[in-house]
């Protein structure tokens, strides 16, 4: 899911922002906010993931992502749009490391490398298929 969402964000969010923002230079700044949100959540994620159940933590970040989407849709200024984008970046970038940690928690040490390779492959497939599937959704009459 993380690969699908990040692929769609990188592929289609600039198109959405082009409809909302007047200046094309602001689109790059808004996309940078998504990345800053993802980078900013990583230290927090490391501290929280040892104390909170990882499934519950993934749920929390999914809720934060949904709240971010609501803020982005309802934003009436670039400030609120930026807040929503930072939250969206943080939520989406957090799902993959939490899933890796959860998957590897019960594995034997010699199986961890193979498991992370398989998860990275699934992430890559999702990153590529996200924009492709989203393009099909946008190509319809009401896309």
Q: What tens-digit pLDDT sequence spans the chain (143 residues)?
A: 777 777 778 878 888 898 888 788 888 899 999 999 989 998 888 888 888 888 899 899 999 999 999 999 999 888 999 999 999 999 998 888 888 888 888 888 899 898 888 888 887 887 777 667 766 766 767 65
Tokens of 51: 């104390």
Q: What is the pLDDT of residue 98?
A: 86
- Rounded CA separation 81/32 (Å): 13
Q: What is the pLDDT of residue 130?
A: 67
Exposure string (b/e) for 14-26, b if CB count within 10 Å is 16 or more? Answer: eeebeeebeeeeb
Identify whether the C-beta of residue 139 lies closer than 8 Å to the C-beta of residue 14.
no
pLDDT at 63: 95
Which of 94, 5, 96, 116 minimizes the C-alpha distance to 47? 94
């Amino acid at each position: 899911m993380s690969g699908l969402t990040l692929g769609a964000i990188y592929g289609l969010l600039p198109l959405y922002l082009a409809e909302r923002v007047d200046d094309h230079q602001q689109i790059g700044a808004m996309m940078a906010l998504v990345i800053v949100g993802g980078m900013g959540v990583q230290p927090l994620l490391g501290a929280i993931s040892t104390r909170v159940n990882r499934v519950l933590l993934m749920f929390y970040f999914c809720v934060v992502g949904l709240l971010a989407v609501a803020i982005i849709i309802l934003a009436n200024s670039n400030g609120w749009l930026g807040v929503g984008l930072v939250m969206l970046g943080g939520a989406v970038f957090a799902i993959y490391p939490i899933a890796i940690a959860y998957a590897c928690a019960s594995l034997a040490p010699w199986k961890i490398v193979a498991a992370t390779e398989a998860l990275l492959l699934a992430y890559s497939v999702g990153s590529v298929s996200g924009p492709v599937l989203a393009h099909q959704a946008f190509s319809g009459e009401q896309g």
